[in-house]
Amino acid sequence: MELSRRATAWPSYLAGDLGNAVDRMQPVCLRRCWVWLAAMAAAVCFAESSPGGGTLDDIGFTRLTQEQGASISTGDGVAVAQSEAVFGSDGYYPSTTHVEFAGTTFLQGSGAQAESVHATSVGRNFYGLSRSVSPGVSSVTNYSAVGWLNGDYLKSLTGQLPAKSAARVANHSWISGGFGNETLNSLHRTDWLVETDDFIQVAGVNNLDTGGGEAPASLFAGAFNVITVGVSSGRHSTGTTALTAPYTVANRVRPHLVAPTNQTSFSAPLVASAAALLIDLAQDRPGLSNGTQLSSAGRNNRTITNGETSEVIRAALMAGADRQAITDLDNGFAYNATSTSGLDPRFGAGQLDVYQSYHILAGGEQDARERGNLGDVKMYGFDYEASYVAGQPRTYRFSVDEVSREFAASLAWNIEINLERIGGVYQDPSVQLRNLNLALRNVETGQTIANSNGAHDVTENLYVPMLGKGEYEISVSAASFSPLNPFTIDYGLAWRFGPSSTPMMGDVNLDGAVSLVDLSHLQRNFNLSERAVWTDGDLNGDGRVDRIDVGLLAGAYGGGTIPKNALAPLAAGASGFAPQVIPEPSSVLLAACGGLVFFAVRLQRRIRRRD
């Protein structure tokens, strides 16, 4: 089968002659397709873009290794797969003699071919000894992208099921164009693979074009069960393309996560590496899970722990993500979860944070109250519900004794594809998307603090920058089902709500100091009168940012702590600090501003004297 050469406009950053690139590909592609495959990294991206120590610091891995020492899981025993587009004179294979791959066994899933600079760089982030977060991975099967889609693995548009594999995580750092029946069948098979075999798929979304405009969505962005990855700078494509059922909704939130590299080609393998690390942790410590699951019955017959299911791994990665890192980059974006599924439309759940995700899994599986766990869940943890029946409640309670810096929870499930042989091709024309919701409420007041109720995807997410003292309940529920015929589905839930600490009075941005930065935050939100929280500048917990808060900040400027007998600040709308005697509002504002101006003038004079 020849690859069609139908013309289309591709972003200029995909450097090189695409026509020549197509000619160099194996002549095995989806029938009647016009899919063009190209490495997301073009000429400029082929330069060394693997993460150094700074990147591993940014994603929490350095902190984790310092804390865990020799006991840390490394990905040892977790087999992985890597598919690569053939680009220019390169093949699809990494440089197997590279020092980063010492001790690694490589298998050629798509036959013998030349080495690829791009594949080598991706591999270093995925399983490299010093550049990845799972350096213990020692078994890698490599595929060309065309081979993966066709006869070597997915076997799209054929009467065969996808191949079996010992691999648990696959990375795809390439894009494709074209949205026909071939793409739909590939998506069916990819989602089926994740749900049936718990074979986790990670893929990079498209990079922005050289002009900064949006680029076409990639093939894997359309899948439900794939983890898609962008870059922390936000310079990547977003959303999905509408196809036929069940992929009918355009602009579902993609990517799910981001990582701090220059190109999505190199961010995706960092997330894939983190998935391998978490799988190894669950395997090393089976006691973290309350049970096991028989994955892909009739295929690999592999028994896995609850903690290494595709649903739990996806939930742990997303609940552990760092939202604040996006805002801290100061590149014109601020993290803003405006989607109904609780995600930022450009950054998903936020930046990969291996430290937090590792501790979520290490916190262990903790059942819902309806499963007999009447005590509080711990600060970190997860649950795998193997047979949730729509209409039944599932709740998880916890208490906050002091101020918690942030709360995050992610719910993940898979769309269930049932491949049937119809007209000589395995497909599922009647698949249905199940709908779950996630909420957090204050048990004492009954107030709903946050909820996530998207209707077009397989994840719901909650994020609260600061929770006040009190008792809370996470709840999972179903929507859009018939009470006479409720559906049954398995899900993974992951959460974290710590560490708990009492912030310094006046430290609005929680950086450990009371400075002009905190005044700037407060000024930006001054007169906010509804649902304000500590990080908006509401220092007395009355739900407003007003002159009282200015006075509290002014009194604590330069340092200070919360009064010994005062209550910790609470969530929006709740009572906070006990009333304190303060000056009249007008004099407070003038005094605060005057004091800060005096400080700035003194600082300026000191600088002049030094000059």
Q: Are strands 380-389 and 488-496 parallel, antiparallel or unpaired?
A: antiparallel
564 pLDDT tier (thresholds 50, 70, 90): very low
Give the pLDDT band (50/70/90) at residue 503.
low
> Residue 254: what residue type?
R
Rounded-to-integer distance, Cα 420 and Cα 159, Å: 9
Domains and CATH numbers, the chain: 18-286+293-303+321-347 (3.40.50), 360-496 (2.60.120.380), 516-610 (no CATH)
Contact predicate 595/603, CB 8 Å:
no
Are 272 and 314 within 8 A, CB to CB?
Answer: no
Average pLDDT rounded to a whole number, residues 166-184? 85
Is the Cβ–Cβ distance between 239 and 339 less than 8 Å? no
Alpha carbons within 13 angstroms on the beta-carbon side of residue 250 total: 5
Q: Would you say 293 and 306 are in contact if contact means Cβ atoms under 8 Å apart?
A: yes
Alpha carbon distances (Å) from 153 to 413, 520, 549: 24, 55, 61
Q: What average pLDDT does the chain have?
A: 82
How far is the first Cα of the chain from the last one, in angstroms, to the nearest whole number? 75
Residue 72: pLDDT band with limits 50, 70, 90: very high
Asked whether the beta carbons of 492 and 309 are under 8 A apart, the reply is yes
> What is the spatial distance between Cα 133 and Cα 276, in angstroms, rounded to a whole number?
9
Q: Give residue 242's pLDDT.
A: 87
Encoded tokens for 12: 């200029």
Place of tokens 């899994």: 361
33-37, 169-173, 362-366, 559-563: least confidently modelled range = 33-37
pLDDT at 36: 42
Torsion of CA 272, 274, 279, 281, to 10 degrees: 170
Task: Indicate if the pLDDT at residue 495 is higher than 60.
Answer: yes
Dihedral sign, Cα of residue 538, residue 539, residue 541, residue 544: negative
Give the pLDDT band of residue 327 (cuts 50, 70, 90).
confident
* Residue 464 token pair: 């609260």
Confidence of residue 606 (pLDDT cuts 50, 70, 90): very low
What pairing do the DSSP bridges indicate for beta strands 227-231 and 257-259? Answer: parallel
Note the pTM of the prediction, 2 decimals: 0.78
Rounded Cα gap, residues 325 and 335, in angstroms: 8
Q: With 50 as the cut, is the pLDDT of residue 3 above it?
A: no
Helices 516-524, 585-610: crossing angle, 10 deg rounding? 140
220: pLDDT confidence band, cut at 50, 70 and 90?
very high
Rounded (5°) CA angle 219-221-226: 105
Rounded Cα gap, residues 402 and 442, in angstroms: 15
Residue 426: name the closest of 63, 68, 156 by CA. Answer: 156
pLDDT value, residue 577: 27
- Beta partners for 408? 463, 496
Q: Which two tokens stand for residue 260?
A: 């701090």
Q: Kindly list the distances between the CA atom of residue 432 and the CA atoms of 224, 357, 388, 429, in Å, as whole numbers in the listed order.
A: 12, 30, 16, 9
Q: How does DSSP classify residue 535? A: G
What distances in angstroms separate CA 558 from CA 513, 580, 606, one per listed residue?
7, 20, 17
| Cα three-residue angle 415-421-426, rounded to 5 degrees | 55
pLDDT at 457 over 60: yes
Q: Tally the residues of the chain.
A: 611
Whether pLDDT at 605 is above 50: no
In whole angstroms, give the CA distance from residue 193 to residue 226. 10
Instruction: Give the per-residue pLDDT at 610.
Output: 42
**Phi/psi of residue 187, nearest 5 degrees:** -65, -45
Task: Annotate 452-504 with three-state secondary structure.
Answer: ECCCCCCEEEEEECCECCEEEEEEEEEECCECCECCEEEEEEEEECCCECCCC
Type and span of the H or E element at 305: strand 302-305
Residue 535 has a pLDDT of 74
Dihedral sign for Cα atoms in the order 516, 344, 261, 320: positive
Q: Which residues contact 293 (CB under 8 A, 6 or more apart)?
A: 198, 303, 304, 305, 306, 309, 384, 386
Calculate mean pLDDT across residues 165-184.
85
> For the chain, how big is the Rg over CA atoms in Å?
26
